[in-house]
Structure 1
Amino acid sequence: MKAPPRPVIALGVLALAGGAYALFGPKAEPDRWLGYVEGEPLLIAAPVPGTLASRPVTRGQSVERGAPLFTLDPRTTDAEGAQLAAQVAAAKAQAADLSQGRNRAPEQAAAQAALASARAQAARAGADFERIAALAGKGFASRTQLDAARAARDSASAAVQQAQAVLASGGLSAGRPEQQAAAQASVGAAEAALRAQTRRREEIAPLAPAKGVVEQTFYDPGEWVPANQPVLSVLPDDQRKLRFFVPQERVAGLKVGATVHFTCDGCGAGARMATISYISPRAEFTPPVIYSERARAKLVFMVEAALPPAQPLPLGLPVAVVPE
């Protein structure tokens, strides 16, 4: 029997080797965009220094929106608030005093009585003048008597005008319009300072701004906390996101607001969804963590996608985004 040609034998060997490699060799890794879960914690601080009086939450504890987080010693703040409240009361009292009449009620009553007396005297002096004028016309009264009666009448009339002026002056406000405007401005300034102090009282005992988890605590009760120094950090459930890396040839097909699917270890069967919220305008050469040989030395763009807050995932969890 004649042996087959050597070229045919070589081709057969190559075919068998190729089939064995395809059957038993390493499988091609499916196309996936690699990334991880990231979050943006909120740093909770107070605008004033003080001793940490209480901190009812601990690291890793879940908190609801509006839950108390910590409280600084309120004694100094409360004392300042009481002082400002007293200043508001004093400013209002001063403004009210300037807007009232110059004279008190008894003084006005006395002025009214003086006016009544002056009018009575004026009426009497007027009647006397009329009588003496009639007598002078008949020759029974001298010129001197007539002049004296006229002077008494005019003096009594002037006394009435003076009493009317005193009564009107007593009814005027104690302060000039400019003084009253300045007093009202002082009231507004005092009330604004009191509102600011009330807000500061709330800020030394902050509440959780959103539902989430206390990520870290930096001070314990009894320690002195400097102003604007975070006491703890809260990671809201709605501030978790995916951060993954897309090859440059695929990034043009993505847009903010689009939905992507991803898988992760321990996430259960099936793919989850996230919404793209940011696409980096700058390229990177490699992701910060290398998961596979195929991810090396690629020109990639960082993309972030917001996660639904219903089921928050732990930070740093590796994910694989499945391209559409």
Structure 2
Amino acid sequence: MTPQRLLVVGLTAGAVVLAAVLLIAPRMGRTAMLSGYVEGEPLYLAAPVSGTVTAMRVARGDRVRAGQPLFVVDPRQLAAQRDQLAADLAAAEAQAQDVRKGQRPVELAVYDANAAAAEARARDASAILRRTEPLVRKGIYAPARLDDARSAAQAAQAQVTAARRQRDAAALGSREDQIRATDARVRQAQATLAAASARLSDVAPAAPSAARVEDVFYQAGEWASANQPVLALLPDDRVKLRFFVPETAVARYRPGGTVRFACDGCAAGLTARITYVSPRPEFTPPVIYSREARDRLVYLVEALPSALLNPGQPVDVTPLGAVR
């Protein structure tokens, strides 16, 4: 082999060795990262009744705080129902108060008249009994006549007792069972009114937590069907990391633990709190394109990040126990 060919072969071999060193050496000194991505779970808000969207107070992409009003669907139908139920409650409460007051003087006069009539009938029956007894003893009347007179007197006295009880009950107030019945109607009316008030608040919902408005499906003036989403929120606490841990290392990951991660354009030193570790293994999903993790048996882990991220961002998670 000529010196020129030897020189060419030597240079080629040196280039191959140098390329291999440049390619392999950085990997040997670098920690193998866990691949993952950011996932967001939207929250869809709707109204329980159909109606026109009378106000849309947010726009797509806005940041909203907890309790901030979002939109209003025409509340007139539910407002009318609530007002009717409020009137029913007022009537039930008035009735409950009335049964505790007893009867008015004019109404008590009726019970007095009934009691007086019963007492008069009792006096007549007692007088008949007194006249009948000596006549029976003398044999003028048959003994059965005395029995009839005695029964009539006892019945008349029982009517007097009943009339007096009714009069006393009317004067002192209604019976306990009537009071319980009216109180039960009041509680029923209160519960129905509370449910109607809650439904009325549902047509003007507020943000349950800090979030981003992901999408708005209806604008002011448009008709929205009942239970049809009007807008979609992406709450901050529903944006999480999803990454995959090899089955040989999954025992290190527990809910409540903390992991470090990085993503393109993100600040350094980001962390996330683990909230879920899948109990079932799977193969690396095709959305993860890491050559090191391909075709590996892994477990899904979810974690809440310490920073506000956008769904779909790829992330690199530092394995627990790794030294960087």
Normalised by the length of structure 2, the TM-score is 0.71
Offset of 1:21 from its aligned partner?
A: 3.2
Measure, in 1, the Cα distance between the counterparts of 2:21 and 2:169.
114
The residue type equivalent to 1:266 in the other structure is G
Unaligned runs of 5+ in 1: 1-8, 113-160
**What amino acid does structure 2 have at the position aligned with 1:85?**
A
Flag the 1:257–1:72 CA change in 2: closer, same or farther, 3 A.
same
Instruction: Tell me the equivalent position of 1:303.
Output: 301
Residue 17 (structure 1) shift: 6.0
The size of the alignment, in residue pairs, is: 263
What residue is the counterpart of 1:125 in the other structure? none
- Among the aligned pairs, what percent are the same residue? 47
Q: Deviations over 1:85-119 (max 9, x none)?
A: 111111122222222222x246779999xxxxxxx
Return the match for 2:278 from 267, 277, 280.
280
User: In the alignment, what sits opposite 2:316?
Assistant: 320
Question: Which residue is 2:171 aligned to?
Answer: 171
CA contact (8 A) 1:287 1:295 kept: no
Whichever of the two has the greater Rg, that structure is 1
Question: Partner of 1:40 in structure 2?
Answer: 41
271, 289, 304: which is aligned to 2:287? Answer: 289
- Following superposition, the deviation at residue 168 of structure 1 comes to 4.5
Label 1:35 to 1:167 Cα distance change in 2 as closer, same or farther (>3 A).
closer
- Quote the offset at 1:176 in angstroms: 3.1
1:211 aligns with 2:207: no
Quote the offset at 1:242 in angstroms.
0.8
Instruction: Name the counterpart of 1:190.
Output: 189
- 1:32 offset after TM fit, Å? 0.8
Distance apart, 1:169 and its partner CA: 6.2
Aligned to 2:269: 271
Distance 1:259 1:305 in 2: 8
Secondary structure of the corresponding residue to residue 97 of structure 1 = helix
Residues 245 and 287, structure 1, Cα contact 8 Å, conserved in 2: no
Structure 2 match to 1:87: 88
**What amino acid sits opposite 1:321 in the alignment?**
V
Provide the residue aligned with 1:122 in structure 2.
none
Map 1:15-54 → 2, pairs under 5 A? 16=14, 19-25=17-23, 29=27, 30=30, 31-54=32-55
Cα-to-partner distance string for 1:25-68 (whole Å, 9 max, x where unaligned): 46554411111111222222222332221111111100011100
Does structure 1 retain, via aligned residues, the 8 Å contact 2:54–2:221? yes
The answer to whether the 8 Å contact 1:262/1:271 transfers is: yes
- What TM-score, normalized by structure 1, do the two folds share? 0.71
- Tell me how far apart the structure 1 counterparts of residues 259 and 110 of structure 2 sit (CA, whole Å): 90
Distance 1:247 1:171, change over 3 A: same
One-letter code aligned to 2:172: L
Once residues 35 and 169 of structure 2 are traced to their aligned partners in structure 1, the CA distance between those partners, rounded to angstroms, is 88
- Structure 2's unaligned 5+ residue stretches are 1-6, 113-159
Q: Retained in 2: the 8 A contact 1:287–1:300?
A: no
AA of the residue aligned to 2:285: P
In 1, distance between residues paired with 2:15 and 2:235? 56
Per-residue CA deviations over 1:161-214 (Å, capped at 9, x if unaligned) read: 99x9597565232x3332222112111111111111111111111111111111
Pair 1:260–1:107, CA change in 2 (3 A): closer
Aligned to 1:6: none
Q: Distance in 1 between matches of 2:217 and 2:11?
A: 69
Mapped partners of 2:69, 2:25: distance in 1: 54
CA RMSD of aligned residues (A): 3.2
Q: Is the 8 A contact 1:241 1:306 kept in 2?
A: yes
| Secondary structure of the structure 2 residue equivalent to 1:201 | helix
Change (3 A) 1:208 1:169: closer
Matched residue SS, 1:20: helix
What amino acid is aligned across from residue 36 of structure 1 in structure 2? Y
Indicate if the aligned counterparts of 1:66 and 1:210 stay in contact, CA closer than 8 A.
yes
Give the whole-Å Cα distance in 2 for the aligned partners of 1:107 and 1:286.
86
Offset, 1:296 = 2.0
